[in-house]
Amino acid sequence: MTAPEQHRFADGGAIPNSRLPVLVYHGVPGIGTPGGCMALFAGNGWLGAWVDGIYPFHHFHSTAHEVLGVVAGSASVTLGGPGGRTFVVAPGDVLVLPAGTGHFNAGADAGLVVVGAYPGGMWCDLRRGDPAERDEVLANIAAVPLPDTDPVHGRGGPLTEAWLPEG
């Protein structure tokens, strides 16, 4: 089983982030094509897949967790908002972002192809850190259920151990 890195980001004010860690997988087999990546995620219950890139501005989703699989190309992706950390991602890398986690494409090559999906096909919003929306997004994030499965390994995967309910 591919063990992911775990990274935590503090509340950045405009970008709330999450108490849950971001999971970063490297060298995930079977995601060398958009179809292969989509099939892996869908087979593990992460649906509503799309194929594109990553927005070149700080943003987050308050209504869904998100998985991003890098199929081709490379990018520098900043996680955690403006005060966060930048990661270089390449083919075979998978980022699992809990609701509220800031992300930003800080620079990519022209060949970047990313597949994104959401647990159970949740609907995601797009937030950019408007202070007037803070109470609403915090309530949204608190209401997002934990996924039943890890997008890479399915039931019993590392996500289900790393993302435990508060208690």
CATH number of 5-145: 2.60.120.10
How much is the average pLDDT of 123-128?
96
**Mean pLDDT, range 150-163, rounded to an integer:** 95
Q: pLDDT grade, residue 1 (50/70/90)?
A: low
Quick check: 3 pLDDT over 90?
Answer: no
List strands edge to edge, sheet with 75-79: 85-89, 75-79, 103-108
Q: Would you state the pLDDT for residue 166?
A: 81
The average pLDDT across 73-97 equals: 97
CB 24 within 8 A of CB 97: no
Q: What is the pLDDT of residue 71?
A: 98
Give the amino acid at 129: G
